[in-house]
């Protein structure tokens, strides 16, 4: 199997993989394939350079980042070591698995949110304990539909969630949303949104306190009422307002209209 | 690159030479980030895109030059920077750098 065939296989299977390419300096056009679960393949021209780029490539992959890095021909990275030596510019392109969105509650808003999340490239899991509502037929756009209480799903797979992932809790049912919030707070998920009016949220905070969740830092992670203030009414508009809030949370922007600002458009 | 796989493999099967161009760096406003890619076969067939359509024509020229031996694999800059001011720019005013190479690995 050639290097590109191995890359193609990984991309089709959706498993993490990175490709390092020398784009400037000695060895332009050389490649190193970085596989977190297998041996590297190819070479950038020196074993020490390969070793250092491999290490950096694994880190880039975990962060879901791609970009150009500068090394010496033998993998030097500190500025003093790069004086008086040709520089090797390496483009590390990483393909991380898609971020996940877990949606709790099989309601109308769920279908709309799942659709918009798919457009943004999320792997979507819909979870509801009620068998008649949590069906693949009602949510054909979801990658997985789970008939389950929140706690077992979090116990089994909560460890998968990281800063790029989102948990959206759309049930208004305290039986369901308290354990869902509890489960979500125990993960590293970057976004936790909980649907409900301000009154619902105030009551929920009381019930969370009864369940032992009183830590202010924990409660501050909850985006509730969920979504940006767009005046959204329909499930589809609400889905856009939730997804827009997720993007703004990631980029740290205030989500006003671009016309009303003056800085660079891209973060 | 994922979206180019089917075409790249089709070209490989028919032994058609092909160049790929990948965005490696964006400064300022640019429509597509690092990793956006396009491929150009020696017959002039094009798949993928690297911007909002501003520089694709110029990339095809560079890709064909590479396949015809008129240039080496390497970086191409589009937009406005101090040292390299290309005729083709991005309408959004940003600068993108692409790496062009033959897909034969």
User: Can you list the alpha helix ranges (DSSP code H) found in A163-234?
Assistant: 174-185, 198-210, 216-220
Judging contacts by C-beta atoms under 8 Å, the chain A residues touching residue B75 are 23-24
Shortest distance between the Cα of A42 and any Cα of chain B, in A, equals 10
Among residues A254, A225, A191, A203, the alpha carbon closest in space to that of A109 is found at A225
Measured between CB atoms, does B73 come within 8 Å of chain A?
A: yes
Q: What band does B53 get if pLDDT is binned at 50, 70 and 90?
A: confident
Among residues A182, A180, A181, A189, the alpha carbon closest in space to that of A160 is found at A189
Question: Is the model more confident about B87 or about A42?
Answer: A42
Query: From the CB of residue A55, how many other CB atoms can be counted at a distance below 10 Å?
Result: 12
Among residues A29, A12, A11, A10, the alpha carbon closest in space to that of A20 is found at A29
Judging contacts by C-beta atoms under 8 Å, the chain A residues touching residue B99 are 21, 23, 91
- Domain ranges (residues) in chain B: 2-102
The CA-based angle B37-A12-B45, given to 5 degrees, is 40
Q: How is residue B85 annotated by DSSP?
A: B
**From the list B8, B22, B105, which residue is nearest A93 (CB)?**
B22
- What chain B residue is nearest to A10 in terms of C-alpha separation? B2
Contact status, residue A38 vs residue A61, Cβ threshold 8 Å: no
**From the list B29, B74, B75, which residue is nearest A266 (CB)?**
B29
The ipTM of this complex is 0.90
Among residues B79, B51, B84, B78, the alpha carbon closest in space to that of B62 is found at B78
- What chain A residue is nearest to B26 in terms of C-alpha separation? A67
CB contact under 8 A, B101 and A29: yes
What is the average pLDDT across B48-56?
86
Q: What is the largest CA-CA distance in chain A?
A: 70
How much is the pLDDT for A94? 94
Query: Residue A251 — φ and ψ, nearest 5°?
Result: -90, -10
- Domain ranges (residues) in chain A: 3-95, 100-251
- What chain B residue is nearest to A41 in terms of C-alpha separation? B105
How much is the pLDDT for A251? 83
Q: Does residue B84 register a pLDDT over 60?
A: no
Q: Does residue B85 register a pLDDT over 50?
A: no
pLDDT in tens, chain A (267 residues): 899 999 999 999 888 999 999 999 999 999 999 999 899 999 999 999 999 999 999 988 877 889 999 999 999 998 888 888 899 999 999 998 889 999 999 998 999 999 999 998 899 999 999 999 999 999 999 999 999 999 999 999 999 998 889 999 999 788 899 999 999 999 999 999 999 988 889 999 999 999 999 999 999 999 999 999 999 999 999 999 999 999 999 888 888 888 888 877 776
Q: What band does B82 get if pLDDT is binned at 50, 70 and 90?
A: very low
CATH node for A100-251: 3.40.50.720
CB contact under 8 A, B105 and A21: no
Contact status, residue A142 vs residue A116, Cβ threshold 8 Å: no
Judging contacts by C-beta atoms under 8 Å, the chain A residues touching residue B30 are 266
Shortest distance between the Cα of A202 and any Cα of chain B, in A, equals 41
CB contact under 8 A, A4 and B8: yes
Across all residues in chain B, what is the average pLDDT?
88
Judging contacts by C-beta atoms under 8 Å, the chain A residues touching residue B105 are 2-4, 31, 42
**From the list A2, A4, A68, which residue is nearest B25 (CB)?**
A68
Beta-carbon contacts below 8 Å between A and B: 57
- What chain A residue is nearest to B104 in terms of C-alpha separation? A4
Question: Is the model more confident about B72 or about A264?
Answer: B72
Burial (CB < 10 A; 0-12, 13-18, 19+), residue B44, is exposed
**From the list A12, A23, A266, which residue is nearest B30 (CB)?**
A266
**Best interface-test mutation with B: which of A3, A23, A95 has the largest number of B CBs within 10 A?**
A23
Shortest distance between the Cα of B87 and any Cα of chain A, in A, equals 22
Among residues B85, B75, B80, B4, the alpha carbon closest in space to that of B45 is found at B4
Collect all residues with Cβ–Cβ distance below 8 Å to A41 and sequence separation of at least 6: A3, A6, A32, A33, A35
């Amino acid at each position: 199997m050639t290097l590109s065939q191995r890359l193609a296989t990984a991309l089709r299977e959706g498993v993490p993989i990175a490709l390092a390419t020398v784009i400037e300096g000695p060895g332009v056009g050389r490649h190193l394939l970085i596989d977190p679960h297998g041996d590297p393949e190819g070479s950038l021209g020196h074993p020490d350079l390969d070793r250092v780029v491999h290490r950096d490539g694994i880190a880039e992959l975990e962060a879901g980042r791609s970009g150009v890095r500068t090394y010496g021909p033998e993998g030097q990275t500190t500025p003093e070591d790069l004086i008086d030596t040709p520089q090797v510019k390496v483009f590390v392109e990483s393909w991380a698995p898609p971020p996940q969105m877990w949606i709790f509650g099989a309601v109308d808003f769920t279908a709309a949110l799942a659709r918009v999340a798919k457009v943004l490239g999320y792997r979507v899991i819909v979870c509801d304990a009620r068998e008649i509502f949590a069906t693949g037929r009602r949510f054909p756009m979801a990658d997985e539909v789970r008939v389950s209480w929140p706690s077992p799903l979090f116990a089994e797979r909560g460890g998968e969630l990281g800063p790029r992932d989102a948990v959206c809790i759309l049930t208004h049912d305290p039986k369901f949303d308290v354990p869902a919030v509890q489960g979500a707070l125990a993960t590293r998920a970057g976004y936790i949104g909980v649907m409900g009016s301000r009154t619902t949220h105030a009551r929920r905070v009381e019930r969370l306190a009864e369940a032992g969740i009183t830590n202010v830092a924990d409660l501050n992670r909850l985006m509730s009422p969920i979504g940006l203030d767009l005046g959204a009414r329909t499930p589809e508009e609400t889905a856009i307002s939730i997804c827009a809030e997720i993007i703004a949370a990631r980029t740290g922007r205030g989500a006003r209209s671009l016309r009303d600002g003056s800085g660079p458009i891209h973060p | 690159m994922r979206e180019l796989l089917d075409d790249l493999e089709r070209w490989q099967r028919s032994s058609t030479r092909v160049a790929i161009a990948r965005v490696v760096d964006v400064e300022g406003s640019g429509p597509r980030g690092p990793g956006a890619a396009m491929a150009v076969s020696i017959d002039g067939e094009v798949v993928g895109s690297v911007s909002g359509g501003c520089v694709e024509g110029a990339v095809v020229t560079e890709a064909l030059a590479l396949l015809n031996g008129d240039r080496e694999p390497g970086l191409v800059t589009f937009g406005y920077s101090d040292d390299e001011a290309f005729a083709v720019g991005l309408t959004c005013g940003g600068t993108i750098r692409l790496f062009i190479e033959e897909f034969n690995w």
